[in-house]
Structure 1
Amino acid sequence: MAESPDKPLRLLTYNIQVGLHTRDYGHMVSGAWRHVWPSRSQSGNLERIAELLSEYDFVAIQEADAGSLRTRDCNQIEFLAERAGFNHCGYIVTRDLQPVARHCHGWMARVAPVSQESHSLASRIPGRAALRLRFDDALSDLTLLSAHLSLGGRDRRRQLEQLSDLAGDDRRVVLMGDLNSGADFLRDHPALRARGFRPAHDAPKTYPSWRPRRALDQVLVTPDLELLSVSALPLQLSDHAPLAIDLRVPDS
């Protein structure tokens, strides 16, 4: 965890695609069976992901599984948190397709939040949700929102309006996750703009991980926060690349 006001907070958001390594579009088709049946490579991929996560103060994870047939009953959020040395984690199941799959996304942190909430997001296809966590001075009085948004533009506009409402009147808010949106879409959203949310100036491309062409994974902050760096890491263990963020919290 950041030890002083001068040391940036290190955040990461990662769509892990259930720990399934994907090397090209053809592999996504030929390996589709891995989304419903255990894969021998999955455990090793999760170990490598956990090694990466261990370097961060807070992590948001999308497209994980909370324990089902396809993961041999492994709750991937809890597994990653334990392996990466996080004392605090949580998750929300977004689509429960037991016994085959339990779609979820989650979080892990070095310090415990003072509150944590899950919120369903409007979507024509049910299964989209957001997590809202508030921290005290141990994590610079931050509010962290993480989400995995829909593909359709109409749904995403409604979901972003909900996320803006979830920010409330909190001064220091970070919104991060697989937002399936480019920076211009986010920058032009009326509710986000009114609330003061700013995306990264040059949002790095994260999808597909083997040849990134689209900036689908994003981070936005309110004016009291400063993005020092935002980078897509060259890790090809999912169809998305991880998005790493160094954040400075100015003195009150």
Structure 2
Amino acid sequence: MNRADTSAPAAPERRLRLLSCNILAGASVQRYHEYVTRSINAVLPGRSKLDNLDRLAEVLPQFDVIGLQEADAGSLRSGFLNQTRYLAEAAGMPFWSHQPNRPMARLAHSANGLISRLEPSSVLDYPLPSRIPGRGALLARFGEGPDALAVMIAHLSLSAPARAKQLGFIGEVMQDYRHAVLMGDLNTDLHSTEMKHLFAKSPLVPPERVTPTFPSWKPRRALDHILTSEAIQLDKVWALPQAFSDHLPLAAEIRLPGHVAPQPHRLRR
């Protein structure tokens, strides 16, 4: 006689696709010299920026949670357009939020942006430590309590000492979450001293391989990252072939227990 299998069925898993993208306020740079020859684009709006954003909006519906860096919050260089909101609405995504930082009079106003088809239970803004204030991290929580999924979006400083303080702060915040994701333009490679400190003091773990994203026309450096905690299965990381700025967008597919991430909702903020 065969014994019936009374073991509990495996818990269902949920797959999410993530995207991190430094959009350079909609500007397109194809060579180093264009930082100089097209410098006027840094402070003036133009049809080319909107066209570039529209191309990016066509890609976004492939993903569940998108993190933006260097999105303009509404200043002269964007034609006073909130670029996070514009992308969310153009892509038909139901939720968006942003964290404005580093205002430069009315000329430029950078922001971290969140676009999502899942409704966060909360969105928190954190100022990051820096000698020159203005950097920040945006934290979206999906669900409540120990099973919440925490997704942080950040754009870190160019200075290594400043990045070390910022990653130290981020590590302390992420300690509270078993299911954690950090994504953004961290302006450092995976094996830097400050990144090693992050992994030592947070639940985040380094991916198996690096994915170069900068410069977009000939990627050599992995400055953009999607990092996950050990409780999250990171199945795939890749750079999108389309260039929308001087960084290639970085994508990832993750698996987590089905009860961690909520189902999609129709909500716009």
TM over 0.5: yes
Superposition deviation, residue 224 in structure 1: 0.3
Q: Does structure 1 retain, via aligned residues, the 8 Å contact 2:13–2:258?
A: no
Q: What pairs with 1:49-198 in structure 2 (closer than 5 Å)? A: 49-136=56-143, 141-185=148-192, 189-198=196-205
Q: What SS is found at the alignment partner of 2:227?
A: strand
User: 1:112 and 1:250 mapped to 2: Cα distance?
Assistant: 17
Residues 207 and 10 (structure 1 numbering): CA distance in 2 closer, same or farther, change over 3 Å?
A: same
Q: Does structure 1 retain, via aligned residues, the 8 Å contact 2:175–2:202?
A: no
User: 1:123 and 1:58 mapped to 2: Cα distance?
Assistant: 27
Q: What SS is found at the alignment partner of 2:192?
A: helix
Structure possessing the higher radius of gyration over alpha carbons: 2
Structure 1 gap ranges (5+):
none
Letter in 2 for 1:57: D
Q: Which residue of 1 aligns with 2:255?
A: 248
Residues 5 and 206 (structure 1 numbering): CA distance in 2 closer, same or farther, change over 3 Å?
A: farther
Q: Which residue of 1 aligns with 2:236?
A: 229
Q: Which residue of 1 aligns with 2:227?
A: 220
CA displacement 1:34-70 (0-9 Å, x = unmatched): 0111122011100001111121100000001011111
Of stretches 90-99 and 4-13 in structure 1, the one that deviates more from structure 2 is: 4-13
Superposition deviation, residue 180 in structure 1: 0.8
Letter in 1 for 2:249: P
User: 1:13 and 1:150 mapped to 2: Cα distance?
Assistant: 17
Residues 222 and 22 (structure 1 numbering): CA distance in 2 closer, same or farther, change over 3 Å?
A: same
User: 2:231 and 2:194 mapped to 1: Cα distance?
Assistant: 17
Residues 41 and 193 (structure 1 numbering): CA distance in 2 closer, same or farther, change over 3 Å?
A: same
Superposition deviation, residue 190 in structure 1: 2.7
User: 2:96 and 2:129 mapped to 1: Cα distance?
Assistant: 25
In angstroms, what is the RMSD of aligned CA positions? 1.8
Q: Which residue of 1 aligns with 2:262?
A: none
Q: What SS is found at the alignment partner of 1:234?
A: coil
Of stretches 96-105 and 116-125 in structure 1, the one that deviates more from structure 2 is: 96-105
Q: Does structure 2 retain, via aligned residues, the 8 Å contact 1:187–1:198?
A: no
Q: TM-score, normalised by structure 1?
A: 0.93
User: 1:28 and 1:47 mapped to 2: Cα distance?
Assistant: 22
Letter in 2 for 1:172: H
Structure 2 gap ranges (5+):
1-10, 260-269
Of stretches 161-170 and 173-182 in structure 1, the one that deviates more from structure 2 is: 161-170
Q: Does structure 1 retain, via aligned residues, the 8 Å contact 2:14–2:257?
A: no
Percent of pairs with identical residues: 39
Q: What SS is found at the alignment partner of 1:230?
A: strand
Residues 236 and 173 (structure 1 numbering): CA distance in 2 closer, same or farther, change over 3 Å?
A: same
Q: What SS is found at the alignment partner of 2:62?
A: coil
Letter in 1 for 2:139: R
User: 1:84 and 1:40 mapped to 2: Cα distance?
Assistant: 18
Match of 1:205 among 212, 215, 233: 212
Greater than 3 Å deviation, 4+ residue runs: 4-7
Q: TM-score, normalised by structure 2?
A: 0.87
Match of 1:23 among 9, 26, 30: 30
User: 1:183 and 1:76 mapped to 2: Cα distance?
Assistant: 29
How many residue pairs align between the two structures?
247
Residues 104 and 129 (structure 1 numbering): CA distance in 2 closer, same or farther, change over 3 Å?
A: same
